[in-house]
Amino acid sequence: MQPENKHTISVLVSNHFGVLAKVSGMFSARGFNINSLCVGETENPEVSRMTVVVRGDHSVLAQLIQQLNKLVDVIEIQDLTQESFVERELVMIKVNAGQEQRGAVIEVASIFRAKIVDVGQHCMTIEVTGAEGKIRACIDMMRAFGIAELVRSGEIAISRAAK
């Protein structure tokens, strides 16, 4: 049995009403779980790019791509996992931090090149972007202060430029 691998798929779709529902509905109807889904307009306002992260073996991935290709609004599918690509995720973490902890929170944030985007009387909000490993490590470090709230964008990815 093959291991379940993480697959990052880039899907170009027509940018109009209902396309996201059709694509996500296709995943749901076939029992596939989406680990991450980000959608945004591309350089062409008539086209959106979906970055979909799923876990499964190669047969699962092949089936997903086959099903996506059947959808009318799908323009192009690219399995980024098969090539060199850059991935990023945005996370905002609201950390419990009174006056006495602020210096330590700022120090940890600087290690991860995170930004302090809001400061309240008893908490701070940190914004961090990066690959999954960096995000996980930052969250783990911030747990020591007490995470009051956390929000993640999901992964976006783009293929690397040819060398």
Question: How many CA atoms are closer than 13 Å to the CA of 78, on its beta-carbon side?
Answer: 15
Fold held by 86-159: Alpha-Beta Plaits (3.30.70)
Which pLDDT score, from 0 to 100, does residue 2 have? 47
Q: Quick one: how far is CA 133 from the chain centroid?
A: 12
Dihedral (CA of 60, 12, 161, 115) sign: negative
Fold held by 5-82: Alpha-Beta Plaits (3.30.70)
* CATH 3.30.70.1150 location in the chain: 86-159
Radius of gyration of the chain (CA): 19
* CATH 3.30.70.260 location in the chain: 5-82
- Do 58 and 68 touch, CB atoms closer than 8 A? no
Distance CA 50, CA 15 (A): 11
Tell me the pTM. Answer: 0.82
Closest by CA position to 138, among listed 147, 148, 37: 147
Report the amino acid identity of residue 5.
N
- DSSP code of residue 80: G
pLDDT digits (tens, 9 = 90+) for 82-118: 889 999 999 999 999 989 999 999 999 999 999 999 9
